[in-house]
Amino acid sequence: MAHYAVVGAGDEVVAAGTSEVLDGGRLIVDLGGRLAPGAYRVLLALALNGNLVNPEVKVIPYRVAE
């Protein structure tokens, strides 16, 4: 399971949630249609077997085109 938060240009959280959607060996976080055009950062943490003790968090730049 992936836990995610999406942070906008003003450092506000604009979306957050979890995803268990799999596509083959990939975990999918579908943000389609949920964000206005602009630049964001997506923070991702994997919960292996439900364990979120000291997770490694990845920050991924994300842009929604106009």
As averages over each run of 10 residues, the pLDDT of the chain (66 residues) reads 94 94 90 93 89 89 94
Whether 23 is covered by a domain: the verdict is no
Whether 56 is covered by a domain: the verdict is yes
Could you say which DSSP state residue 51 is in?
Answer: B
Q: Which residue has the tokens 């604009």?
A: 14
Whether 27 is covered by a domain: the verdict is no
Phi then psi for residue 9, to 5 deg, are: -65, -30
* pTM (two decimals): 0.85
Say if residues 60 and 15 touch (Cβ distance below 8 Å). Answer: no
Q: In which domain, by residue range, is 64 found?
A: 1-13+38-66
Q: Is 8 helix (H, G, I), strand (E, B) or coil?
A: coil
Q: What is the pLDDT of residue 1?
A: 87
Q: What is the pLDDT of residue 48?
A: 83
Overall number of domains in the chain? 1
Q: Which residue has the tokens 């979306």?
A: 15
